[in-house]
Amino acid sequence: MQQNSTAKQPMAESHKKRPSQGIPDVIFKWILILPATIAVIALLIFPFMFTLAASFTDWHLFNLNAPINFIGFKMWASVLTSSYIHTTTWNTIFFVGLALPLEFLLGMTVALALNAATFGRTFFRVFFLMPLMFNPIAVVFLIGKLMLQEDIGPINDVLMGLGFPRIMWLSDPSMAKITIVLVDVWQHTAFMILMFLAGLQSLPQEPFEAAVVDGATAVQRFRFISLPLLGPVALTAVLIRGLDAFKVVDIIYSLTGGGPGQATESVTLTVFRTGVKGGDIAFGSAASYLLLILMAVFTALVLFATRKWVRVSY
């Protein structure tokens, strides 16, 4: 007992203070944390609170000499009752609701194929990840402006050569919604591939070996072993990609400008148009909080589903 207590004494003191360094550990920890804390307050918490406060005012940047008045929930009410915002909200939900499952299914399929591949595995891994390395604006130019050009673009040229009618990729409101999703799927499926491939390669081999011994088919091994074990990875991938998709703006802004009409305008683009370009800080702030609420609901739903269906540990 005596030996034990004397052995602990210097260790405990070393946690409190190292005389040779002069700075107590507790203070030194705070010094280390301080830059990150300042950064979080300055870049996250302050804008968060500032935007919230702005949403309760009538602040318009281009009404330069006018006073800024507190108007309570009036701006929130005008956002929530705005048919403009209703349309962009549905557009955003449609985009996420279609792009995310497509990217999920395609990503998992390609990852399974790559995981099982015995030939050219490295090449195809890099090949499938390449879209993730492109700038979204370059993707828009490559796919939207060149490939999908409606009059003389190569895709319509091929399709019409095969006897199909001309597809109005960007000019028909319904088709434009799909086109935006397709461009996003082209670029961001790579992220899902990356996540699922990493997940598949980290799975324990024992359950698969046991299943083979028990005579399980490949489909059964996927259905009853791979899929449940990939749950945590799938959850992470859906959350990251889903939250990112809610904020989509670059593809839409450069490909359709939100049109035709309002067919492809997302909430983020509305916030950018009204708050940043238009100077209507109050409306833009309230609209950005609407987006935040949407994303919070999405996150809650994913977490709820996870708790119900996903096995979190092996």
Partner 1 sequence: MSARVSRRDFLRWSGSAFGVAMLAACQQPVAPVESGSAPPSRPFEGQTVSAAGMPWMWENTKPLYEEFLEETGMELNVATFQQQEITDKLMQAVATNTYFADLLAIPNNAAADIWGNDLALPVPEDLLNDPEMAWDDVLPVYREKVLAWKGVIYGMPHDGDTHHMMFLHSLMDDPDNQANFTGEYGYDLNPDRGPQTWQEHRDYAEFFTGWDWSGDGDPNYGFAHMMKRGDTAFWGFASRCTAYGKHPDDPGYFFDVETGAPRINSPAFVRGLTEWKDEMQFGPPGMISMGWGDVIEASQALRVAMNVGWDGVAMHREGSLAAGKSSYSVLPGSYEVYNAGSGQWESRSEINFAPSLAFGGWEISIAKGAENEDAAWALAKHFTNKEMGNTFAFQGFKNPIRISDIADIEPWVEIAGFTERSATTYLRALNETMTHPNLVLNLRIPGWTQYRDALELAVSKALAGEASPENSLNEAAEAWSAITDRLGGPEKQRDNYRTHLGLD
Does position 94 interact with partner 1 (CB under 8 A)? The reply is no
DSSP 181: H
32 by Cβ neighbours in 10 Å (0-12 / 13-18 / 19+) ranks as exposed
Task: Give CA–CA dist 262/87, Å, rounded.
Answer: 7
CA dihedral 280, 286, 292, 294 (to 10 degrees): -110
Does position 244 interact with partner 1 (CB under 8 A)? The reply is no
Instruction: Using the minimum distance from each CB to partner 1, give the nearer residue, 197 or 269.
Output: 269
Contact 166, 150 (CB under 8 A): yes
Where does this chain touch partner 1 (CB under 8 A) — which range of 60-68, 97-105, 221-229, 300-308?
60-68
Does position 64 interact with partner 1 (CB under 8 A)? The reply is yes
Instruction: Using the minimum distance from each CB to partner 1, give the nearer residue, 97 or 279.
Output: 279
Is the alpha carbon torsion for 192, 195, 200, 201 positive or negative?
A: positive
SS3 call for 57: strand
Binding mask 262-291 for partner 1 (x = CB under 8 A): xx---------xx-xxxxx-----------
Task: Give CA–CA dist 92/268, Å, rounded.
Answer: 9
Instruction: Using the minimum distance from each CB to partner 1, give the nearer residue, 34 or 117.
Output: 34
Rg (CA), the chain: 26
Instruction: Using the minimum distance from each CB to partner 1, give the nearer residue, 60 or 247.
Output: 60
Question: CB of 93: closest distance to partner 1 in angstroms?
Answer: 18
**Looking only at residues 20 through 39 of this chain, which bind partner 1 when binding is defined by CB under 8 A?**
21, 28, 32
**Residues found near partner 1 in the complex (CB under 8 A):** 21, 28, 32, 58, 60-66, 149-152, 166, 168-173, 253, 256-263, 273-274, 276-280
